Chain A
């Protein structure tokens, strides 16, 4: 990760600088319909006592390409679940970000609080913003963000299609190919793109498929011109299994994506969230500690509002600060005692290799993989997903395959697979919520001696 390369996206540069300073970057999920509120949110994130980058989360109308409904809601003053970036247009986005990006700003606030005694890196790039959406056809969003002077966003041909749309996978693959090319070209090669492959439907998917999807989408991004990528993984049910998955992701990323600027991003738990404040914050801390232990560069947080409503600005600021504090008090401990206990690396590698054998072109390979069920996302209703695989939580709290369809992975021995009853499904979906609401912590590792990080 140290070869000379063209200038980086300010977003990737901010993550790189924090990593050199030994700090975890924390980032919210944040979106409000109007430009003023969105700007206030970004200012509050920048001022939080944490090493932050900002997020503009796009609303659901914009995600499905229904910009007319987004416009109508804005005109009527109706609340939306995010910022309708296309309906607002690039000029509004520029206004929103005016003086907010980079190091020192014109309103006199520092680009970032530096609460540690360590010196800020000398090429401290300051505050940066990423556009997060969830669109199978991202072109209008990508065009708008580029026209507004931004170059960092998120998604992928599979991960923004299957969980987010009824768009045929083949259409999403071509739309994402064009979007990647546009990003690379119009940014002058700096653009940063994060794969959402490590999340998919957010829950009940064994880690090997999440790791494989992230790597495969990273390969897709490179094929279409991106030089700076992040690969994602979402916190699941077992901290030990998660640590193994993150180690596998890092290793496969180095193998398959050499020469690219890259980092790992962990998502705080993406499934049914604890309803209580104490439970939500404990789960958030567990994710931040996992990130710090495993050397993940960036963490996207969830807030105590998650189970209930769209988070307000102060919910996000609280979550960022709690996560940053938890990460700072956790020393890294690379190389878990047994990083093959769950077999994540072997399974993820088998999946990646099997897909790459299907066609020389990665886009074609992904389409064939889903057509043949070689990739099969559990419980995903999308018409192009075989939907024959099922995950379950085993006695130790880790995610395993009950049935795997045509995927080259190991299914757990056990009772004949059958569809779970509604109540059993809810039980599995609320496994994490229940534990944390009851004050438990899942798979708390033996307490490690606390030592200073630097």
Chain B
């Protein structure tokens, strides 16, 4: 059975970039994807300072936080931000995931997954993973809107879903 971070019902998701990342097409795409899955999305946009992101999470109390970064600073900025966020007792159990192009060296650099999970994320989706594992994890609210899964890259058919730390997944 798939683990889902969010039950099969309409939930409130905060989508956000990190402090130094200006890219927004990734955020626009994730918002559409989540809305089509039946969720309600608050998109905080790009270049979001840690303080602002944390304050918004405290104010909005979302069911899920989705962080996206592609500028190559995502592992640095995301790791720093989530450590700060987890210091707050009321946000310690907020399901939070990160994805995108998280470093500057592409797939050659190896995975930032373990470090980011240790820092406090519940799941990490690196560029090569596609969005299928993410969709599964987030859970479609209305199954009728199930979108076509991306074609798996040759030789990766049996790729396991992105790592999910046992702790923090509701």
Chain A positions within 8 Å of B, measured between CB atoms, are: 60-61, 63-64, 66, 69, 73, 78-81, 134, 163-166, 201, 203, 305, 308-310, 379-383, 419-423, 425-426, 429
**Is B43 an interface residue when CB atoms closer than 8 A count as contact?**
yes
Contact present for B106 and A308 (CB under 8 Å):
yes
Contact present for B22 and A164 (CB under 8 Å):
yes
User: Residues of A contacting B19 with CB < 8 Å?
Assistant: 64, 66, 69
User: Residues of A contacting B73 with CB < 8 Å?
Assistant: 60-61, 80-81
User: Residues of B contacting A64 with CB < 8 Å?
Assistant: 19-20, 22, 47
Contact present for A61 and B20 (CB under 8 Å):
yes
Given contacts A66-B19, A66-B20, A80-B104, contact A201 B25 (CB under 8 A): yes
A-B pairs under 8 A by CB, number: 88
Q: Per a CB cutoff under 8 Å, which of A66, A308, A425 touches B32?
A: A425
Which label, helix, strand, loop or mixed, suits the secondary structure of the A interface?
A: loop
What are 12 A-B pairs with beta-carbon distances under 8 A? A60-B72, A61-B20, A61-B73, A69-B19, A79-B72, A164-B22, A165-B22, A203-B25, A310-B104, A420-B32, A423-B147, A429-B29
Given contacts A63-B22, A165-B47, A203-B25, contact A78 B76 (CB under 8 A): yes
Query: Measured between C-beta atoms, what is the minimum distance from A121 to chain B in Å?
Result: 38
Contact present for A425 and B28 (CB under 8 Å):
yes
User: Residues of B contacting A61 with CB < 8 Å?
Assistant: 20, 73
User: Residues of A contacting B36 with CB < 8 Å?
Assistant: 421-422
Contact present for A426 and B45 (CB under 8 Å):
no
Contact present for B45 and A419 (CB under 8 Å):
no
**Is B103 an interface residue when CB atoms closer than 8 A count as contact?**
yes
User: Residues of A contacting B76 with CB < 8 Å?
Assistant: 69, 73, 78
Q: Name the 8 nearest CB pairs between A and B, nearest first.
A: A309-B106, A422-B32, A60-B20, A81-B72, A422-B33, A308-B106, A310-B104, A381-B45
Query: Measured between C-beta atoms, what is the minimum distance from A165 to chain B in Å?
Result: 6
Given contacts A73-B76, A429-B25, contact A422 B20 (CB under 8 A): no
Given contacts A60-B20, A165-B22, A310-B72, contact A422 B107 (CB under 8 A): no
B22 and chain A: residue at smallest CB distance:
A164
Contact present for A308 and B28 (CB under 8 Å):
no
Binary contact track B48-84/A, C-beta < 8 Å → 1, others 0 = 1000000000000000000000011100100000000
Once bound together, how far apart are the Cα atoms of A66 and B73, in whole Å?
13
Contact present for A422 and B104 (CB under 8 Å):
no
Once bound together, how far apart are the Cα atoms of A379 and B24, in whole Å?
9
Q: Per a CB cutoff under 8 Å, which of B28, B32, B106 touches A381?
A: B28
Once bound together, how far apart are the Cα atoms of A310 and B20, in whole Å?
16
Query: Measured between C-beta atoms, what is the minimum distance from A133 to chain B in Å?
Result: 11
**Is B158 an interface residue when CB atoms closer than 8 A count as contact?**
no
Query: Measured between C-beta atoms, what is the minimum distance from A112 to chain B in Å?
Result: 30
Kindly identify, within residues 4 to 54 of chain B, every residue whose CB is under 8 Å from any CB belonging to chain A: 19-22, 24-25, 27-29, 32-33, 36, 43, 45-48
Once bound together, how far apart are the Cα atoms of A310 and B71, in whole Å?
9
A61 and chain B: residue at smallest CB distance:
B20
Binary contact track B86-126/A, C-beta < 8 Å → 1, others 0 = 00000000000000010111111000000000000000000
Contact present for B20 and A79 (CB under 8 Å):
no
A309 and chain B: residue at smallest CB distance:
B106
B30 and chain A: residue at smallest CB distance:
A422
User: Residues of A contacting B20 with CB < 8 Å?
Assistant: 60-61, 63-64, 66, 69
Which label, helix, strand, loop or mixed, suits the secondary structure of the B interface?
A: loop
A160 and chain B: residue at smallest CB distance:
B22
A-B contacts besides A166-B47, A166-B48, A382-B45, 10 pairs, CB < 8 Å: A63-B20, A64-B22, A79-B103, A163-B22, A308-B106, A309-B104, A422-B32, A422-B147, A425-B28, A426-B29
Query: Measured between C-beta atoms, what is the minimum distance from A40 to chain B in Å?
Result: 17
**Is B167 an interface residue when CB atoms closer than 8 A count as contact?**
no
Contact present for B71 and A379 (CB under 8 Å):
no
**Is B1 an interface residue when CB atoms closer than 8 A count as contact?**
no
**Is B159 an interface residue when CB atoms closer than 8 A count as contact?**
no
Once bound together, how far apart are the Cα atoms of A387 and B48, in whole Å?
19
Once bound together, how far apart are the Cα atoms of A423 and B150, in whole Å?
10
User: Residues of A contacting B25 with CB < 8 Å?
Assistant: 201, 203, 379, 429
User: Residues of B contacting A381 with CB < 8 Å?
Assistant: 24, 27-28, 43, 45-46
A73 and chain B: residue at smallest CB distance:
B76
Interface centre among B19, B21, B28 (most CB of A within 10 A): B28
User: Residues of B contacting A163 with CB < 8 Å?
Assistant: 22, 24
Query: Measured between C-beta atoms, what is the minimum distance from A348 to chain B in Å?
Result: 24
User: Residues of A contacting B101 with CB < 8 Å?
Assistant: 309
User: Residues of A contacting B43 with CB < 8 Å?
Assistant: 381
**Is B144 an interface residue when CB atoms closer than 8 A count as contact?**
no
Once bound together, how far apart are the Cα atoms of A157 and B140, in whole Å?
41
Query: Measured between C-beta atoms, what is the minimum distance from B129 to chain A in Å?
Result: 15
Given contacts A79-B103, A81-B71, A309-B105, contact A134 B22 (CB under 8 A): yes
Given contacts A80-B104, A81-B72, contact A201 B24 (CB under 8 A): yes
B145 and chain A: residue at smallest CB distance:
A421
Given contacts A66-B20, A164-B22, A166-B46, contact A425 B29 (CB under 8 A): yes
Once bound together, how far apart are the Cα atoms of A378 and B91, in whole Å?
34
Query: Measured between C-beta atoms, what is the minimum distance from A288 to chain B in Å?
Result: 25
Q: Per a CB cutoff under 8 Å, which of A81, A379, A420, A429 touches B104?
A: A81
Interface centre among B25, B33, B43, B46 (most CB of A within 10 A): B25
Query: Measured between C-beta atoms, what is the minimum distance from A81 to chain B in Å?
Result: 4
Contact present for B105 and A419 (CB under 8 Å):
no
A308 and chain B: residue at smallest CB distance:
B106
Contact present for B29 and A79 (CB under 8 Å):
no
Query: Measured between C-beta atoms, what is the minimum distance from A311 to chain B in Å?
Result: 10
User: Residues of B contacting A310 with CB < 8 Å?
Assistant: 72, 104-105
Once bound together, how far apart are the Cα atoms of A193 and B36, in whole Å?
43
